[in-house]
Structure 1
Amino acid sequence: MSDPDDLFEMYRNDRGGAAALKGDALAHAIADNVRRTFATMEKLVAEVVQVLAQARYAIRVGPTVTDRATYVRLDRTSESFRDYLRMWSQQRAEGGGGMHWEAQILVTDHRRASAEIGLGVTIERPVGADGGDVAFVEFWTTGQGMPLPSEGRAFQRALVASIVRLEEAGTLRSAKPKA
């Protein structure tokens, strides 16, 4: 490797090693990124619930999502969502278009007072089987945004910051006594 051009050629080969996804493979990968995004958020939220156990908050990713391109609101657990996602991902694979969703994290305190934390979710276009980030998520209450899954801890910190803001506003109250 004495020739610098060899290094550039190796870099190009490494970057272009995975064939670009097309057609049905791309549509399946896009749909998979949507599913992985929400599964990742659910896992991260469950970890926050465990850490905040003494505060006695019920926290979960809301079941409904909204496609920002059409403003269609769907239940993620329904068969109609699976059908819609199949059509949606096929359209994105064929002609591009926005890949933005709205979602909510629902928080209920020990008194049964509840609040929603709005999320903007942008699904990343798959570039191959590299296992990289699948989405960019923004918390509307704080404006904090982060790629998932690589910035899972930042997602959790933003969730806790949003809950703290809701406590400061008097919307929610922790069951844990203040020290």
Structure 2
Amino acid sequence: MIAAALTVSLLLGGSFLSVSRLHSSPADFLDHPANPVTDDQSESQVVVSAKQIVTIAGLHKPKAGYLLMSCKNHDDPPYQGAIYLNFAVPADVRVDTYFQTIAAALVEHGWKKGIPPSRYVYGTTLYRDDVTAIIYRDRDYPNLGVVRLYGQCRNMNDHRKDTTAWTDINGQIDGAR
């Protein structure tokens, strides 16, 4: 009787472990993204979006940098393309309406509004084609606006030994206007 109870317990425990392995977890999504992309595809995804934003919003004096950043921790794959873009805020505009106008123009061209970023006054979050854009006024330099763009976490190449400096992509963004 005791042997039967132990056998049943072992069988049920083993089947529970087997079934739990069939279900994916959020970590599985990061560890094994569907359809991994190349370095060039990661960069292109966010650069194309940055060009769209500069053109549609008519941003003045855009300056941008690009890097691949880990979606998991500081070093490990997968990676996503990221852009940090500064632009001049015209002196003759009300800042609150200026950033609302930028967001409205992007929404008219297919971007979707997201939850406003809590840390940034007049900020907005937008999404399109699997790219997230956070747009806000720079707190330290009120005459500057910032666009941070993040692509999908699908680049599985090993970038652990890459430099962590931003790569200047002004030449790719300047031609957008």
Same fold (TM over 0.5): no
Structure having the higher Rg: 2
TM, length-normalised to structure 2: 0.31
Identify, as 1 or 2, the structure richer in helix. Answer: 1
